[in-house]
Amino acid sequence: MKIIMLGAPGAGKGTQAKMIADKYDIPHISTGDIFRANIKEGTPLGMEAKQYMDKGLLVPDELTVKILLDRVAKKDCQNGYVLDGFPRTIPQAEVLDKALGERGDRIDHAIDVDVPDENIVKRMGGRRACLSCGATYHIEHVPPKQEGICDVCGQKLVLRDDDKPETVQNRLNVYHEQTQPLIDFYRNKGILKTVDGTKDKEEVFETIEAVLKA
């Protein structure tokens, strides 16, 4: 069961990817994690990626796919895996497809966690963080006991720049421009399933389970 998770930043695809991984005992793979692991271990692929990252450059698609293929060839991926955060663009998807095809392999499901922009802006705008101890809250869903004050250490809570409406909308615009075309790409391959990400996370997961069992 090889799955790609799609969805805008803040749609909750990472949460769903972890839930799928736990339920089906398959690895949850994010490119950020495997880059860091390869660099930490000093692998040849990791050192090659580090040269780009140290210069503030994007790691080329071919190298990213090589690192990804190296990861999915490991024993814990025998029964499948969940890809989170890759591919982000059509060229990346095409390189991945070609590389998997050369191994006689393919992606089974592309799951799009669909949430309207306005919901995401509201959802992320409600986040509050404690810069002192790192605890996080949400003014509606996980409020602190005392408004604006961290339950853990008593310091003031802040709205991080990343969560401000204008920043979130900019990230969403980039997503629609670069990543949204992937939805059509996987729809044309007949493996796309769209789920309503505005529901409670347990409900969203139940819908995904039904998709995977179908």
Would you please indicate which residues are annotated as catalytic (active-site) residues? 13, 88, 127, 160, 171
Residue pair 81/70 in contact (Cβ under 8 Å)? The answer is: no
Contacting residues for 146 by C-beta, under 8 A, at least 6 apart: none
Taking alpha carbons only, the member of 125, 112, 109 closest to residue 8 is 112
Residue where the block lists tokens 């401000």: 164
19 phi/psi in degrees, rounded to 5? -65, -40
Q: For the chain, where are the alpha helices, taking DSSP H only? A: 13-24, 31-41, 44-54, 61-72, 90-102, 117-125, 165-178, 181-188, 201-213
Distance CA 87, CA 29 (A): 12
Q: For 73-164, where are the alpha helices, taking DSSP H only? A: 90-102, 117-125
